[in-house]
Structure 1
Amino acid sequence: MLRDQAARHPDAIVVAGEATRLSMADLLGEATRVARGLMALGVGPGDRVALWGVNDPSWVVHAFGVWCAGAVVVPLSSRAKGLEAAAMIRKTGARVLITGEGAGRTVLADLLPPGTGLLHAVVPAPSLSGPGRLTAAELRERGEEVAPDAAWERALAVRPDDLCEIMSTSGTTGTPKGVMLDHAQVLRGYWDWAEIVTLREDDRYPVIAPFSHGFGLNAGLLACVLRRATMLPIPVFTPDGLMELVSSGRISVLAGPPTLFHRLLDELDRGAWDVSSLRVAICGAAAVPPPLITRLVEQVGVERVINAYGLMEGTVVSMTRAGDPVEVVAATTGRTVPGIEVRIVDDAGKDVAAGERGEILQRGYGVMRGYWDEPERTAEVVDGDGWLHTGDVGVLDEAGNLAIVDRKKELYIVNGFNVSPAEVESLLLREGSLAQAAVVGVPDPVSGEAGRAYVVPRPGADVDAAALLAWARENMSNYKVPKRIVVVDALPANANGKIDKLALRARATREDSEPEKRLS
């Protein structure tokens, strides 16, 4: 796809960073140099290469370099700390780690001892060099050892059903899972997504979601190259810079939660900003207040407000369409995209009537190939007939519009990121002073939801909640860090002896309703 775009539209600008602009021809040339460098390091077809850094042009170049080498991209969150990144590297058997700018590089040393399996780490600057490391420039120099024709043949040998990416997703057992997606899945899924969004060559699209996230990588980086739109990778997004970004950047496509668009409208009311370039607003599987849609259309001049639903294991599932009334966009995620089926079933697996709640099951080309090296866990969510059991609770109306109303799993969402309580609990227990930890998601006015941890000290240990919270900030991605930690003598248990999360959620509700407890 990239070679075809570069041949037909070599001068189309596809990446616009703070100090870097890349045309299709530039991107192909730089990616090929990276591919030759990786081949010189011994990376072969199907090998995994981890990418760790914030959104920037370098991330885009290295991702396509990995794909041109026939390898598989393993994105690591720039928010991840050493413990988290090392776990995903070990799980996928990544041979090379490519780092960029971002917090993760400060703990690079954690990832190169024996046991991680890494052979090489590529670092952005000579100051970070050391044993087993080479700079991005040195990687390209190594590529001179590989003939251009060899790199060309390697890239053309990649087949549609070869693995493209292994995405980390929150698990319910305490460890993240690696979702396997192939090239055909992501190309088809995000071509259709971009078609419905009406993403086009003259669009300027800031990619706010991290490239390590499925939306940022596929509905951002990949979709822009597919449709020759100009992506603006956003390394660190701040709401305060939103209006400057939209106004001076002449942004035409903007994706984010409803709070992002509320902020835009509030700022528009207070200042003389020019947002006339904005024509498409994309929200993801969220309830969107109808007045927000009306104001975006009437006050900003947005042509389309789109709601959509997807998940890492199932790529794109449903989207609203042109001409949908406000109430459909506000309350649902629209109809399934071509090639995808959806059912709503009860606890016995039987289809429910239109308008009734049940678990969302999905089938079609978008369903993942499975979890990396975990066939048993794959079989738990993808049944013998190919239906993916999403764990989300939804309702289908008579017209086939899908509304997401709840989650069966314990996952909660912080600023758009899925958080697994089991994973946070597992990380907290590694601190050493705890006998037990239980985490629940609670409503939060800023982030949507936030984690609250209830912890039981080990015998003889004196646990200070503030100190434990500081440890969590040092060792976890920021969105996984509980907003509050409560030290307790014991955790409630149900009749089966398991921790009673319902009782903990009820306790959290009481705490939030009683000011004196909120301050304790």
Structure 2
Amino acid sequence: MDVLPDPTPRPLDHLALIGARDAPALADKAGLLDHGGLDDAVGALAAGLLGRGLRPGDRVASWLPKQRLACLMPLAAARAGLVHVPVNPLLKHGQVAHILADSGARLLIAGRGRADTLGSGDRPDDCALLVEEDEGAALLGHGDHLPPSSADPDALVAILYTSGSTGRPKGVMLSHANLWLGAVGVAHYLGLGADDRTLAVLPLSFDYGQNQLLSTWAAGGCVHPLDYLTARDVVRAVGRHGITTLAGVPPLWIQLAEAEWPVECVAPLRRLTNTGGRMSVPLVRRLRALFPAARLFSMYGLTEAFRSTYLDPALIDEHPESIGREIPFAEVLVVRPDGTVAADGEPGELVHAGPLVAQGYWRDAERTAQRFRPAPAASRHGGTAVWSGDTVVRDAAGLLRFVGRDDEMIKSSGNRISPTEIEEAAIASGAAAEAVALGVPDDRLGQAILLYARPAGAEADADARLTDWFRHNLPNFMQPARVIWRDELPRNANGKLDRTALKAQATEETR
């Protein structure tokens, strides 16, 4: 089916009503669930949750791998009038303890192995525990079934915690409308249909990870959830299930681009989508060569507004560095410090307005006021906007290019330097497979540039190639003062390169 960009939001659990009743909706280790079965399972799980003594508005946290219970929770919590708090299964007990306490969760659903890692005080006294191995089947097979809800689309339905890259994790408050319109909008511009099969490899606690489920169901398609250990696991699953849609973040795409892809695993793919950071130009070229028949979507987003822009795949060969234009239902402006709209070619802050804007940070008025502010006067939507802190440039054709985050910009010898530009130069040299540039204190320069890199070949050769490339392609003030080679670079729970961990390492190594 073609998904039309209908701007009228509905309760989130109504996504279970869209697909043909006998069409596949979820294929997991428990078997195949059609869309009729999806609706039944959502109704049973919603009744089971309320049977645990939860009341509308209560928060329920799930700390689970990508099995059936985890996949159904976003819709079941919505149907029961609860607020879902998905927790990344890669997080450790201290991080989970913070999320449980901060959200005020009344119930934690977790596997026995993860639950056993929680120590005294990690789980609040008023937060009950449900161990999936002991009670999950009964929860899913509850005898009662709740019918589709009549929830207010503006009601709170989920709290997604950020990875905490800039401090303690913040709980982003999302409404039914935020998630419904995000699902419909993505399904529309990706061109998803009922015959599409999405391999869900991103964490379901991640905004786009959850959207893997929601946008596929909005199109009446089928989701194949996968917890993978290696890139080879992803390649095999694509071939085994005839996957048509694959989403990733740049570090995963780098691994997939380095993997061997048999012809039968390449053939079914219709679209590749990227979020969570910009793909380098060499990576774009590599993916286009590997998957010439697949449409490659480069996208930009932030949890506070879900998704802001995407690039039409027809333009990616000519504009591989672009993040495109605003997605359906989004309004994106490039704004000067005085609040006026920047001219073409002039850097400015990306500001996102419209119905995809979240409701703020859970119980954090101070940080909400910093990020969620009145929209610029030029906004057609008005109201509250998300001021991203990201610097972008719009060209004469209306395409946007990401420059960098204000809080990551390096200030050296009076110059403001985008770490992204240095990182992309390192990768373009062919010497580095991945790179992270940081500013470290320097008495003479203010900040010197420190580059962490994973070599693409032999480290000794890589060092010489990189140095030569920088000397010929970057001005002196953008030359790294030091390059530190690592066989692996740290990643956070969402699979992104962990700048916070590298900053901590840099502090130690530059003392």
Band the TM-score falls in, shorter-chain normalisation: 0.7 to 0.9
Residue 243 (1) aligns with residue 235 (2)? yes
Q: Following TM superposition, by how much is the alpha carbon of 1:387 offset from its aligned partner in structure 2, in angstroms?
A: 2.6
The one-letter amino acid of 2:171's match is: G
| Match in the other structure for 1:187 | 180
Output aligned runs, 1:115-514, within 5 Å.
115-118=124-127, 120-126=128-134, 135-139=135-139, 143-144=142-143, 148=145, 151-152=146-147, 155-171=148-164, 174-218=167-211, 220-258=212-250, 260-261=252-253, 263-268=255-260, 273-284=264-275, 286-288=277-279, 293=284, 296-297=287-288, 300-328=291-319, 330-385=320-375, 386-410=384-408, 443-445=452-454, 482=501
Task: State the Cα distance separating 1:203 from its structure 2 match.
Answer: 1.4
Q: State how far apart, in whole Å, the 1-side matches of 2:71 and 2:265 are.
A: 29
- Which secondary structure state, in structure 2, belongs to the residue aligned with residue 373 of structure 1? coil
1:199-256 deviation per Cα after TM superposition (whole angstroms, max 9, x unaligned): 22111211111001111112x1111211122111112341132321222221211112
Q: Cα distance, 1:50 vs. partner? A: 0.5
- From the superposition, tell whether residues 392 and 27 of structure 1 become closer, same or farther in structure 2 (CA, over 3 Å): same
Superposed displacement of residue 311, structure 1: 0.6
| Structure 1 unpaired stretches of 5+ | 127-134, 414-418, 422-439, 448-472, 487-503, 512-520
Q: 1:175 to 1:116 in 2, by over 3 A?
A: farther
Do the aligned partners of 1:70 and 1:157 also contact (CA within 8 Å) in 2?
no
For residue 456 of structure 1, what is the aligned residue in structure 2?
none
SS for the counterpart of 2:210 is: helix
* Number of equivalent positions: 422
Among 49, 73, 90, the residue aligned to 2:84 = 73
The answer to whether the 8 Å contact 1:77/1:212 transfers is yes
Residue pair 1:362, 1:388 contacting (<8 A) in 2 also: yes
What is the alpha-carbon distance in structure 2 between the residues aligned to residue 362 and residue 337 of structure 1?
11
Whichever residue aligns with residue 213 of structure 2, its letter is L
Query: What TM-score results when the alignment is normalised by the length of structure 2?
Result: 0.73
Q: 2 CA distance for matches of 1:20 and 1:202?
A: 18
- CA distance 1:356–1:174, change in 2 (3 Å): same
User: Aligned to 1:92, which of 95, 103, 118?
Assistant: 103
Question: Would the alpha carbon gap of residues 74 and 111 (structure 1) be closer, same or farther in structure 2, given more than 3 Å must change?
Answer: farther
C-alpha deviations, 1:157-216, integer Å up to 9, x for none? 312111121010145773211101101111112211121111221112111110011111
Do the aligned partners of 1:345 and 1:358 also contact (CA within 8 Å) in 2?
yes
Provide the rounded CA distance (Å) in 1 between the counterparts of 2:227 and 2:126: 28
**Identity within the alignment, %:** 28
* 3-state DSSP of counterpart to 1:212: coil
After superposition, give the CA deviation of every residue in 1:436-455 in whole Å (9 maximum; x if it has no partner): xxxx99644389xxxxxxxx
Deviations 1:69-121 (A, max 9, x none): 111110111011121111111111111111147x63332455675x4530x22
- SS, match of residue 68 in structure 1: helix
Tell me what 2:66 maps to. Answer: 55
Gaps of 5+ in 2: 1-11, 376-383, 410-418, 421-435, 439-448, 457-489
How high is the TM-score relative to the length of structure 1?
0.72
With over 3 angstroms needed to count, the CA separation of the structure-2 counterparts of 1:378 and 1:281, relative to structure 1, is same
Q: Per the alignment, in what secondary structure is the counterpart of residue 205 of structure 1?
A: strand
CA RMSD of aligned residues (A): 3.6
Paired residue secondary structure (2:293)? coil
Task: State the Cα distance separating 1:309 from its structure 2 match.
Answer: 0.8
SS in 2 for 1:251: coil
